Amino acid sequence: MLFSVGVEYPSRDGEALGLVVPALCNDDYVCFGAADSEAQVKTMATEAIAMVVEEMVSNGINADSIKDLGPRAYRELADYDHCDGWLLLDVDLTEFMGKPKRINVSLPDGLIQLIDSRVKASQGQYKDRSHFLAVASRHELEECGV
């Protein structure tokens, strides 16, 4: 899932960059983080997102119900005026979407070969064929607003 991450740059040397994930900030939860350098922003934001989503799921909230409005929408909100920049971060929430269930799917040989080639070339972005299909399915569902 794509998450908008607001970044607040430090006013002095030796201070951390502040991070906020508005999609995970509501009446019951907040998602803040910090990074000592720009190189750490992605790692620290991903870690903060995973911790908050894990807490939400443990409290009965469905990870599929999380919606991000996008950086343009959050820039307009006074709550995020402190953010100097924004980025979109793709975080895999598969582990929070419930227990895996085996299904039987038939696909043409050529398509399977293309999928397997993409998985192999992804340098770890996709764990295996099933993970690739889950990511592709989620992307398609997000495109149609589900």
Structural domain containing residue 106: 100-146
Q: What's the structural domain count of the chain?
A: 2
DSSP-derived secondary structure letter, 32? E
Residue % of the chain over a pLDDT of 70? 99
Residues constituting the chain: 146
Q: Say whether 116 sits in a helix, a strand or coil.
A: helix
Q: Using the 3D structure, point to which of 98, 116, 136 is the last residue of a domain.
A: 98
| 109 shares a domain with 54 | no
Question: Tokens 């343009």 label which residue?
Answer: 72
Tokens matching residue 9: 């740059």
pLDDT of residue 146: 62
What is the identity of the amino acid at 93?
Answer: L
Residues 19/41, Cβ–Cβ less than 8 Å: yes
What is the identity of the amino acid at 37?
Answer: S
pTM value? 0.70
| 54 shares a domain with 12 | yes
| 104 shares a domain with 79 | no
**pLDDT, tens only, 37-68:** 999 999 999 999 999 999 999 898 888 788 99
| 108 shares a domain with 60 | no
| 50 shares a domain with 5 | yes
Tokens matching residue 146: 């589900």
| 106 shares a domain with 93 | no
CB-count exposure of residue 53 (10 Å: 0-12, 13-18, 19+): buried
Going from the C-alpha of 95 to that of each of 13, 50, 70, 129, the distances in angstroms are 37, 10, 23, 16
| 124 shares a domain with 138 | yes
In DSSP terms, 86 is beta-bridged to: 6
